[in-house]
Amino acid sequence: MHQALVDAMHDYFDAGMTMDLDRLDAIYDDEFENLRVDRAGRSITLSKDQFMARFRALKAQGETVGESVDDATFPASNVFGDHALIVMRRVENDEPSQYAFVWRLADGRPATILRELTFDHDISYLLAMVAAAQS
């Protein structure tokens, strides 16, 4: 199962880096949520709609979410019932970041991302951006 999850993650990364909004919309489960936590203990939960709105805004501005995820490693995975968890580690701007993705399985294969847990250095920028969008 680990390789199937790694392959699904790379498909997800490709969709994000090419700004393929239809593919991203299909990859994110309708119940998708991203829980982000930083070193100061701040946290925020983002919905699929918020994620997709951000992707649409970036694409409209001609921007992307990155060029490479060659530094990503996947040290652990686990299958439980109709779900699977894969842990990812990256080093961005000399700061290690860790993520955990919960995938919904269909016929034993990764189908959609249900949850993403992100452990960031600092999410103050994100909290400010969401607060500004809600004003």
Q: What is the pLDDT of residues 9-67, one digit of tens each?
A: 999 999 998 999 999 999 999 999 999 999 999 999 999 999 899 889 888 988 877 77
Say how far apart CA 101 and CA 5 lie, in whole Å.
10
pTM (predicted TM-score): 0.90
Q: Which domains, ranges and CATH numbers included, belong to the chain? A: 2-134 (3.10.450.50)
Per DSSP (E only), the strands in the chain are 28-38, 43-47, 73-80, 83-92, 95-106, 109-120
Say how far apart CA 32 and CA 133 lie, in whole Å.
20
Q: What is the pLDDT of residues 76-107, one digit of tens each?
A: 999 999 999 999 999 877 888 899 999 999 99
